[in-house]
Structure 1
Amino acid sequence: MASPSNINNSKIARLLFIDELRGMAICMMVVFHFCYDLNYFHYTQFNILESSFWTTWRTVIVAWFVFISGVSISFAPNNHTHFIKRITKLFLSAVTISIVTYFLFGNRFIYFGVIHFFLIATMVTYPIRENKKSLAMLGTLILLISNTCQLSVMNPNYLNWIGLNSLKPATEDYAPLFPWLGLYFIGVASAPFLNHKKSLKIKALSVLGQHSLMIYLIHQPVLFLLFSLASTH
């Protein structure tokens, strides 16, 4: 029988491994946004919005974040206070992003981006996260529907947060429920398979992963400010 200290060490190693994976996604995201800003400030001429390389890179980053976040919520404390704090942080972050991007980008402001998605996904998933088999099946179904069902009736802005629209909306970030909720559910269902994964022992990655929300919120404003200052000289 495993001793409490062994169980504790195993749990810490597992959580560090997840933080490290999230840290890798953070690094990829910062590099992507750095390249985006190079383009935005006309230092380069990447076709970021349409090039298959750049759109695929963004999709990989979002998929990585979504899957790992699904895994993470499966290991979150069974504590209502923790849940409420998490929801509050995500809600305030989502509102802040929408307001700031409205003033920066006008009609292309972010009204349902990655953080908005995580807010809804967390609220929906937290109460049912123990139903791993059901979530795996539902997640797979959502992915299948997303690949086969695009409807023009879902194109209005007040509906396209669902993700079944046939036209991509004009917005700086877009992470609808379909297909991403499917991948999130699969992440939750996959958590038991990561139970015995050992830490990579890369502290920098785990630190980045532990502060992913803060880094997500501040890195782009910081990059924008630096590029703006550089452009004035």
Structure 2
Amino acid sequence: MAEIGKRVRLTVIDIARGVALFAMAVYHLFWDLWYFGFLPFDVGSDPRWVFFARSILASFVFLVGVGLALGHGEGIRWKSFWRRWFFALGGAVAITIATLIAFPDSFVYFGVLHAIALFMLMGLPFLFLPVPVVALVALVFILPPFFVSNVLFDEKIFSWLGFWVVPPVTNDLVPVFPWFGVVLLGILATRLGKTALLPKLATIQPTGKVPRAFAFVGRWSLPFYLIHQPVLLAVIVPLSMLLGTQDALREQDFLRSCQSTCETAGTSAAMCTTYCQCGLEGLDADELWDAVYSGVLTPEQQTKLDENNRQCSALIYPELLNPPAQ
């Protein structure tokens, strides 16, 4: 709860949390639109979108620290704490199960909610330790990832700590380093501003419809987080199937990758275009897309794929189809 003591709620903190959640939903909307072929640019790797996503995460995690300090800074209210903690943990488990079903190759095993559940436990001692200690430990968590990396942390089992060289394949990963340090900054800022700043913030009570809407979302942050993606996907997935956007994107990716591989082997661009277009038509005709993308082909499917490759190669090298007589 964004509270001072037990009764006075800081509406501005709820609004800030609501704005962060809304921004996160906007990012996920554009990520979904890219993933399902509505957008030509890669939201997941575009530097501007990456910066946007990291800024949202930083504000969200910072507010976790603020909420801990406001709700339990005068003494841990265990009943309230455990209720919120189990909600976060339950949400994390639900996200893992849902993404494991929907995206088995990139499921979320330590995303935002997993991190929040852990950070809530880790943050409790820092509500009462001396402020300089909190500041020092925050730096200990924030700074090392900028200077230390090791391939050991590329593996899923260790990646939740941070320090990877190549990020593991997952749709969401919020490692302990540096993000717990941002939680500590939230605790630190709240403790430092408790006497002078927070009483002033408590007097701010916006009455407009927009801030009230943000405040409502901020008060119900976990339900909003859990339902916003299913709602977005419930609209985008059927629309993608209706318009065929993902199939079109998949074909573009195939042609681009095939062309690059073919030209790298020394074949001319024109001949590669002919070969790749033939391969694309073969995948469609024999319904091999899912098998090829999964990497699991039956012997019959492998035979069809090999035959397609021979036929397409013969288009650019006819001698392969009719070798000269000895």
The alignment's TM-score, normalised by the length of structure 2, stands at: 0.65
Match of 2:239 in 1: 230
Return the match for 1:215 from 224, 229, 246: 224
Query: What is the CA distance between 1:155 and its match in structure 2?
Result: 2.1
Match of 2:112 in 1: 114
Give the match for residue 150 of structure 2.
Answer: 151
TM-superposition CA deviations, 1:46-82 (whole Å, max 9, x none): 2112110111110001001001111111011421111
* SS in structure 2 of the partner of residue 216 of structure 1: helix
- Work out the CA distance in 2 between the residues paired with 1:32 and 1:175: 16
Cα displacement string for residues 142-173 of structure 1 (whole angstroms, at most 9, x for unaligned residues): 11112111122222210110012222110000
What does residue range 13-52 of structure 1 map to in structure 2 within 5 Å?
A: 15-52=10-47
The residue type equivalent to 2:19 in the other structure is M
Corresponding residue number in structure 2 for 1:199: 204
Equivalent residue of 1:54, what SS?
A: helix
Give me the whole-angstrom Cα distance separating, in 1, the residues matched to 2:162 and 2:16: 26
Shifted more, 123-132 versus 178-187: the winner is 123-132
Is 2:58 the partner of 1:59? no
Q: Kindly provide the amino acid, as one letter, of the partner of residue 120 in structure 1.
A: L
Aligned residue pair count? 225
Q: Is the 8 A contact 1:140 1:186 kept in 2?
A: no
* 8 A Cα contact 1:146 1:179, kept in partner: yes
**Cα pair 2:159 2:168 within 8 Å, conserved:** yes
What one-letter code is carried by the residue in structure 1 that aligns with 2:220?
Answer: H
Distance in 1, Cα, partners of 2:58 & 2:164: 19
Deviation readout 1:30-59 (Å, 9 max, x if unpaired): 111111111122111121121101111100
> Which residue identity does 1:124 align to in structure 2?
M
Q: What does residue 141 of structure 1 align with? A: 140
**Quick one: which of 75, 91, 114 aligns to 1:93?**
91
Q: State the alpha-carbon separation in 1 of the partners of residues 215 and 49 from structure 2.
A: 26
Deviates most, 53-62 or 77-86:
77-86
1:200 Cα deviation after fit: 5.9
Q: Answer yes or no: is the 8 Å Cα contact 2:18–2:218 preserved in 1.
A: yes
Counterpart amino acid of residue 129 in structure 1: L
**Are 2:181 and 1:182 equivalent residues in the alignment?**
yes
Aligned to 2:276: none
In structure 2, C-alpha distance between the alignment counterparts of 1:225 and 1:104, rounded to whole Å: 13
* Structure 1 gap segments, 5+ residues each: 1-6
The 8 Å contact of residues 152 and 167 in structure 1, kept in 2 or not, is answered as yes
- The runs of at least 4 consecutive aligned structure 1 residues that moved more than 6 Å come to none
Partners of 1:17 and 1:199 within 8 A in 2: yes
Deviation at 1:175, TM superposition (A): 0.4
Q: Is 2:81 the partner of 1:76?
A: no
Query: What is the Cα deviation at residue 26 of structure 1?
Result: 1.1
Residues 129-154 of structure 1, C-alpha deviations (whole Å, 9 max, x = no match): 12233222101121111211112222
> Contact 1:66 / 1:180 at 8 angstroms: preserved in 2?
yes
Query: Could you tell me which amino acid in structure 1 is paired with residue 142 of structure 2?
Result: L
RMSD: 1.9
Contact 2:135 2:188 in 1 (8 A): yes
Q: Which has the larger radius of gyration?
A: 2
Q: Is the 8 A contact 1:70 1:188 kept in 2?
A: yes
Structure 2: gaps (5+ residues) = 243-326
- Structure number with the bigger relative contact order (C-alpha 8 A, sep ≥ 6) is 1
Deviation per residue, 1:92-147 (Å, 9 max, x gap): 11111001000111120000111110010001112431223322210112111121
Paired residue type of 2:238: L
Q: Is 1:169 aligned to 2:168, yes or no?
A: yes
Q: Percent identity?
A: 29
TM-score (norm 1): 0.90
